[in-house]
Structure 1
Amino acid sequence: MDVRPAGEEDLAGFLTLAGQVEHWFGPMVDEPGFHEAVRAHIRRSTALVAHGRPADGRQPLGGLLFDAGPPTYHVDWLVVAETGRGRGVGRALLGEAVRRFVRQPGSIEVVTFGADHPGAVASGARRFYERLGFAPAEPAAPGPEGGSRQVYRRAVDAAVPVSEAWRYGRAP
């Protein structure tokens, strides 16, 4: 699997990924604000894209938008294609983001589904973050589709090689 910074040519792939999860996150594909958010991350080099082997096709297996401002780093958006789920794509994207962008101790936060949201189990998002050492924190504002959301947070200590631990499936 190849994880690399996204370029403008990857916008269509991000929209394809967004289309697979709009039923959980609300409208994105036809939203100019989402297009601009992806482009802004691409310009800042804080958008990552994962591609598989040629047999996986031309569409990306996953995409990530990351806010690299310490001491609180944010996963702004992380989506893995249906064909990539359970294959380490999300772990690889997040590990690469940490390797590239996390330079100081602090915390990484992500807003994901609340426990009562239908996507909480179906997407595997909460379980995914918990496996990587994130812990549920305070509730967040509901999503655009009206579903509950929750902040997940993970401390980052400069002495712990977080990206290495994630690469090998161990949360420190």
Structure 2
Amino acid sequence: MTVRVELATAADVPGILALAGEVEHWFGPMVAEPGFHRALDKHIADRRALVAFGATEAPLGAVLFGGASPRFAVHWLVVSGRARGAGVGRALMAAVAERWALAVGDVVEVVTFGMDHPGAVESGARVFYERLGFAPAEPAENGPEGGSRQVFRYKRTEAVRFPP
């Protein structure tokens, strides 16, 4: 699948909210949450939101990210159920890494599902991050839906470029 990744704009918000709606059963409420809208708008304004497209104009995925050297964070990443396993998440993460220009020693963190969370297997998130070179780290606070969460961490070394 050919994937095109672009900076998100205000025009992309409805499509990103549609993606959020696909995963609310794992992450908790987002689409109707003013806090999520504020975070999305801020990431777009700060040019720290990317959206992925395929052959259609409906977005296949999106990512919100932040931080500065030496510590970065993936705040939220979503890939449509119809596009999981097709390289959309990898394309988004490659575009994030390009924007960050990670240096040796830089760390990227993401909080994803704990091992016992139903989304851990169904979404493929844990395997996805491990394949990119992230390692499971300490537990994180439970998500708003009550499910367990865990920090995954990637450290750039000279031998490994992100994503591999």
Question: TM above 0.5, one fold?
Answer: yes
Query: What TM-score, normalized by structure 2, do the two folds share?
Result: 0.94
Q: 2:97: which partner in 1? A: 98
User: Helix, strand or coil: the match of 1:27?
Assistant: coil
Amino acid at match of 1:20: E
Amino acid at match of 2:41: R
Alignment of 1:52 with 2:51, yes or no, is no
CA–CA distance in structure 2, aligned partners of residues 110 and 103 of structure 1:
15
User: Helix, strand or coil: the match of 1:84?
Assistant: coil
* Larger relative helix fraction: 1
Question: What is the percentage of aligned positions where both structures have the same residue?
Answer: 55
On the 8 A contact 1:98/1:162 being kept in 2, the answer is: no
**Paired residues for 1:12-31 under 5 Å:** 12-31=14-33
Task: Report the Cα offset of residue 71 of structure 1.
Answer: 1.1
Computed over aligned residues only, the root mean square deviation of the Cα atoms, in angstroms, reads: 1.2
Q: 1:64–1:161: structure 2 CA closer, same or farther, 3 Å change rule? A: same
CA–CA distance in structure 1, aligned partners of residues 112 and 65 of structure 2:
14
Task: Report the Cα offset of residue 160 of structure 1.
Answer: 5.0
Query: What TM-score, normalized by structure 1, do the two folds share?
Result: 0.90
Q: 2:75: which partner in 1? A: 76
User: Helix, strand or coil: the match of 2:43?
Assistant: helix
| Unmatched 5+ stretches in structure 1 | none
CA–CA distance in structure 2, aligned partners of residues 152 and 9 of structure 1:
31
| Unmatched 5+ stretches in structure 2 | none
On the 8 A contact 2:102/2:156 being kept in 1, the answer is: no
On the 8 A contact 1:51/1:61 being kept in 2, the answer is: yes
CA–CA distance in structure 1, aligned partners of residues 130 and 22 of structure 2:
23
Deviation string, structure 1 residues 114-138 (Cα, Å, up to 9, x no partner): 0000111000000000111100000
